[in-house]
Amino acid sequence: SQKIEQNSEALNIQEGKTATLTCNYTNYSPAYLQWYRQDPGRGPVFLLLIRENEKEKRKERLKVTFDTTLKQSLFHITASQPADSATYLCALQTGANNLFFGTGTRLTVIP
């Protein structure tokens, strides 16, 4: 069956450290993988998109890797800040345009 698993439901990290979130999938062949941030009571906000033939993408303090052999994406936030505390969602996009979402990792950055 198709599954998208995000490593842990919750992750606590000290301010200033690098947060690393994992997204593993089975029985999908995604053309693109996207990461979103969701705050309580709000809709998801797009952060980064990476194509299947790209290994890494960066945007300011964010970095995403995509390994189609391992069927895994890693999402890094460097120099983390309390304002980075939120739930982070990975989403796979196959040939069509609808997205398949993981259940998310709730990140808390402790001052």
Task: Report whether 110 contacts 43 (CB < 8 A).
Answer: no
Q: Which of residues 77-96 bind another protein (CB under 8 A)?
A: 89, 91, 93, 95-96
- Sign, CA dihedral 67-69-70-71, equals positive
Task: Report whether 89 contacts 75 (CB < 8 A).
Answer: no
Size of the site for another protein (CB under 8 A): 26
The number of angstroms, rounded, from the C-alpha of 42 to the middle of its chain's C-alpha atoms is 17
Nearest distance in Å: CB 110, another protein:
23
State which residue, 23 or 77, has the beta carbon closest to another protein: 23
Q: Which of residues 16-55 bind another protein (CB under 8 A)?
A: 31-32, 34, 36, 41-46, 49, 51
State which residue, 17 or 55, has the beta carbon closest to another protein: 55
